[in-house]
């Protein structure tokens, strides 16, 4: 059940929900990271690192970098910043000036 939650959160970050919902979703990821890091790590690897999960415009290296940053985040503010940056990248807005993180 928790793996499915992580999948829904990732889909929301990648564009299934408005950017205004990113902070509460990041809070859930932060909590999972603090309390279930081993499971979260395996779920993220399994879900996000699939070849076309659901962001074919993001390279495997960028996905791996996001997973690494997410798992190493020790503070909510930094994690929120990284999630917003990845959301912009995955939604195809990087370098357009819209929307700023």
Instruction: Give the relative orientation of helices 2-11 and 22-35 as an angle to the nearest 10 degrees.
Output: 150
Query: What does the pLDDT read at residue 8?
Result: 93
Query: What does the pLDDT read at residue 2?
Result: 87
Q: What is the pLDDT along the chain (101 residues), one digit of tens a residue?
A: 888 999 999 999 988 888 889 999 999 999 999 999 999 999 998 888 776 676 767 888 888 999 999 999 989 999 999 999 998 888 877 666 655 54
Query: What does the pLDDT read at residue 57?
Result: 73
Q: How far apart are CA 88 and CA 99, in angstroms?
A: 7
Q: How far apart are CA 10 and CA 40, in angstroms?
A: 12
């Amino acid at each position: 059940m928790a793996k499915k939650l992580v999948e829904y959160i990732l889909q929301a970050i990648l564009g299934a929900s408005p950017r205004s919902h990113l902070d509460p979703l990041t809070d859930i990821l932060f909590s999972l990271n603090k309390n279930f890091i081993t499971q979260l790590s395996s779920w993220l690897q399994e879900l996000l690192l699939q070849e076309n999960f659901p962001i074919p415009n993001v390279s495997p290296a960028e996905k791996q970098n996001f997973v690494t940053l997410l798992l190493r985040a020790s503070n909510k503010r930094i994690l929120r910043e990284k999630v917003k940056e990845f959301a912009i990248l995955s939604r195809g807005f990087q370098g357009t000036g819209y929307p700023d993180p």
